[in-house]
């Protein structure tokens, strides 16, 4: 039975780009060449973006992106979410976070402020020459020694440890 399946799944000849290929090595080379041709960089088929006008932020709007999140902005975003969903497996729904805002707001805002400080730190540290980066993050700022061996850890783990 296995021989019958092998015979049925075997290609004796194959036509690729109008060329008839015969034999295993010929078919392999022809298919590999066809895929290389198809996936290679061909400048003429790419669309051009010259002459297109894109929407952009005004200077005031782009400067506002640098400011820390305000309490009203965070509460507005939290209130706009559906309260039935649980953001994590601990079972607390968003309705709890929304109804207990006065109790938990300082903690939530401190998390957001820490995240914003880390982004600012990364932006400025990439400008310094000679700064060693660990997974794209400055290793001396995450509490890691500069000569630490590479280990694939998540950046979030280091942030959680800082809290």
Nearest alpha-carbon partner for 109 in 101, 99, 118: 101
pTM of the entire predicted model = 0.38
The pLDDT confidence band at residue 71, using thresholds 50, 70 and 90, is confident
What's the mean pLDDT when you consider all of the chain? 73
Element (H, E) at 85: none
Greatest mean pLDDT range, 30-44, 75-89, 94-108, 147-161: 94-108
Instruction: Kindly state the tokens that stand for 64.
Output: 């506002």
The pLDDT confidence band at residue 148, using thresholds 50, 70 and 90, is low
């Amino acid at each position: 039975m296995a021989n019958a399946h092998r015979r049925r799944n075997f290609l004796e000849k194959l036509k690729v780009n109008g060329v008839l290929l015969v034999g295993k090595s010929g078919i392999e080379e022809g298919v590999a060449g066809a895929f290389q041709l198809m996936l290679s960089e061909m400048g003429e088929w790419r669309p051009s973006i010259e002459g297109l006008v894109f929407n952009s932020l005004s200077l005031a709007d782009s400067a506002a992106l640098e400011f820390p999140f305000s309490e009203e902005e965070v509460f507005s975003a939290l209130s706009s979410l559906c309260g039935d969903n649980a953001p994590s497996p601990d079972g607390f729904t968003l309705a709890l976070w929304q109804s207990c805002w006065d109790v938990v707001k300082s903690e939530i805002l401190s998390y957001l402020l820490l995240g914003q400080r880390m982004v600012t730190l990364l932006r400025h540290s990439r400008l310094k020459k000679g700064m060693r980066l660990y997974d794209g993050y400055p290793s001396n700022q995450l509490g890691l020694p500069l000569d630490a061996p590479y280990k694939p850890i998540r950046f979030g783990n280091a942030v959680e440890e800082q809290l």
